[in-house]
Amino acid sequence: MIVYPAIDLRGGRVVRLQQGDYAAQTSYPDDPLALAQSYAQQGARWLHVVDLDAARDGVSQARGLIGQLAQLSGLLVQTGGGVRSEADVEALLELGVARVVVGSVAVREPARVLRWLAEYGSERVCVALDTRADAAGVYWLPLDAWTRDSATGLNELLDLLSQGALLKHVLCTDIARDGMLAGPSVELYRLLLARAPAIALQASGGVRDVADIVAVRALGCAGAIVGKALLDRRVGLAELLEC
């Protein structure tokens, strides 16, 4: 299983949000490139980068920085946030990004994302199914940096995108756990893997420690995104990579 240290960027700075709330932001003094290089030195192979400005506003202020991370960090970079067109996908790939993450566009236009998977390859495109449960426990897929609700259900979209065996990499964030250090959404991931056993699922949201990594690996997750726990130094990256 791959552990993906995560760097969320806003205004060129490393930040973390709580449950996707832009008003609940914690800023960190770390230089993004130096931080990424330190993760590489500790043994990481991949880096997960989120462009929060582009995710909310559709305009990236971080493309140059993402290019530096892809070219100079020593890590394979997976990045998303505000990817809404073929031009966005191609621009990121040209910067040296290894894998582009698409979210809201997959909810709005799943057929378009299936075309991207066919054109760019299943290794180059990851679908982010960022989800929030309603009072009845049904999971829905909010849009635009989680600021707008949609009428698309998690299971419905997963079934649609799984047709044709093009979909491989899926990143699923339980929004209620994002940035909360409350542990990963184990039951959610168990259900997703039972429904689509062929996907390489990345668990995101709530990872706190080695035990959480062990738990999602035992489920069959192919990866785990770890952000706040590393930035707050609650756990060391080397510990997570060794478990």
What is the sign of the dihedral through the CA atoms of 103, 6, 37 and 231?
A: positive
| 174 among known catalytic residues | no
DSSP readout, 21-48?
EEEEEEEE---HHHHHHHHHHTT--EEE
**pLDDT tens-digit readout, 198-231:** 999 999 999 999 999 999 999 999 999 999 999 9
Q: What is the pLDDT of residue 181?
A: 83
Number of domains in the chain: 1
Catalytic: which of 51, 88, 130, 174? 130
| 130 among known catalytic residues | yes
Q: What is the pLDDT of residue 21?
A: 85
195, 158 in Cβ contact below 8 A?
A: yes
CA distance linking residue 67 with residue 51, whole number of Å: 12
**pLDDT tens-digit readout, 171-201:** 999 988 877 788 999 999 999 999 999 999 9
Q: Which domain holds residue 232?
A: 2-242
CATH code assigned at 83:
3.20.20.70
For residues 181 and 153, which has the higher predicted lDDT (pLDDT)? Answer: 153
3-state class (DSSP) for residue 204:
strand
Catalytic: which of 8, 51, 53, 178? 8
Supply the pTM of this predicted model: 0.94
For residues 92 and 60, which has the higher predicted lDDT (pLDDT)? Answer: 92
